[in-house]
């Protein structure tokens, strides 16, 4: 072995500690996997690369799970980053549409059938 330092392990706890600033998911407790995130501001110079990526990719609503997958970060780290952006007013969190709020499929079929008879 030479004295060269090994490459940075992308999944290492040290990397996640640096990305989140050592913070845990306590502030991100209100977020879950299906919470939708929408950008409200553009990325600014000096912003961390992960936060800038979140702002760019969330031009249209994405769930926290999707953001986590695109960034290749664990949900806990992604939730901390998203919570920071919410606190800064750069993104908005929206609850997903509940199935109970969707119209009855049988009613929709009846409406479509009625419209096709016109």
Instruction: Check whether 38 has a pLDDT greater than 90.
Output: yes
User: Cα 42 to chain center, whole Å?
Assistant: 16
Domain boundaries, the chain: 13-116
Which residue, among 63, 117, 44, 55, has the nearest Cα to 86 in the 3D structure?
55
User: What was the pLDDT predicted at 105?
Assistant: 84
Beta-bridge mates of residue 39: 91
| Residue, of 23 and 113, whose pLDDT is higher | 113
What contacts 24+ positions apart, CB below 8 Å, involve 94-100? 94/35, 94/36, 94/37, 94/38, 94/61, 95/35, 95/36, 96/34, 96/35, 96/36, 96/63
**% of the chain exceeding 90 in pLDDT:** 29
The pLDDT tens digits of the residues spanning 46-101 come to 888 888 999 999 999 999 999 999 989 888 888 888 988 998 899 998 887 666 67
Spatial separation of the C-alpha atoms in residues 8 and 81, rounded to whole Å = 21
User: Cα 69 to chain center, whole Å?
Assistant: 9
CATH architecture of 13-116: Orthogonal Bundle (1.10)
């Amino acid at each position: 072995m030479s004295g060269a330092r090994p490459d940075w392990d992308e999944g290492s706890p040290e990397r996640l500690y640096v990305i989140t600033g050592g913070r845990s998911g306590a502030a991100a407790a209100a977020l879950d996997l299906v919470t939708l995130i929408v950008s409200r501001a553009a990325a600014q110079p000096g912003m961390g690369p992960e936060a800038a990526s979140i702002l760019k990719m969330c031009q249209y609503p994405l769930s926290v799970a999707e953001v986590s997958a695109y960034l290749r970060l664990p949900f806990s780290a992604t939730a901390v980053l998203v919570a920071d952006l919410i606190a800064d007013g750069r993104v908005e969190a929206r609850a997903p549409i509940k199935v109970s709020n969707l119209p009855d499929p049988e009613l929709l079929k009846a409406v479509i059938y009625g419209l096709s008879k016109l």
